[in-house]
Amino acid sequence: KQEVTQIPAALSVPEGENLVLNCSFTDSAIYNLQWFRQDPGKGLTSLLLIQSSQREQTSGRLNASLDKSSGRSTLYIAASQPGDSATYLCAVRNTDKLIFGTGTRLQVFP
């Protein structure tokens, strides 16, 4: 059974810092991995999708890497801003459904 773990559970940093959020999964036979952002009381916004054949994806200040063999992904956020404050979720797909981690709650203070 696929299990997804995210570390840390919560993170509070001053504006401008570079951050790394971690995601690990137990079954490496995945189709893809997706990172989402969730603001309080809102749905999920897709940030990056990495297919199993890819090593990384970049979008603006975000960079996600995937090491399938070791069951790990990292989300790197450069030059963090208060607007980045949210919960970040990773999810892996090795069947038709996405299995989610419990998220990292990020707070960036001015």
Partner 1 sequence: GAGVSQSPSNKVTEKGKDVELRCDPISGHTALYWYRQRLGQGLEFLIYFQGNSAPDKSGLPSDRFSAERTGESVSTLTIQRTQQEDSAVYLCASSREAGGTGELFFGEGSRLTVL
Name the residues that contact partner 1, by CB under 8 A: 31-32, 34, 36, 41-46, 49, 51, 89, 91, 93-103
Q: Which is nearer to partner 1, 97 or 110 (CB)?
A: 97
The distance of closest approach from Cβ of residue 1 to partner 1 in the complex, given in angstroms and rounded to an integer, is 12
**Residue closer to partner 1 (CB basis): 89 or 108:** 89
- The dihedral built from the CA positions of residue 89, 46, 85 and 110, taken in this order, carries a sign that is positive
Nearest approach in angstroms of CB 54 to partner 1 is 11
Report the relative pairing of strands 44-51 and 32-38 from DSSP bridges. Answer: antiparallel
Least distance to partner 1 from the beta carbon of 3, Å? 11
CB of 30 to partner 1, least distance (A): 8
Q: How many CA atoms lie within 13 A of 7 on its CB side?
A: 4
Q: Which of 72, 35, 70, 68 is nearest to 54 (CA)?
A: 68
Q: Which is nearer to partner 1, 30 or 80 (CB)?
A: 30
Q: Are strands 104-109 and 10-14 parallel, antiparallel or unpaired?
A: parallel
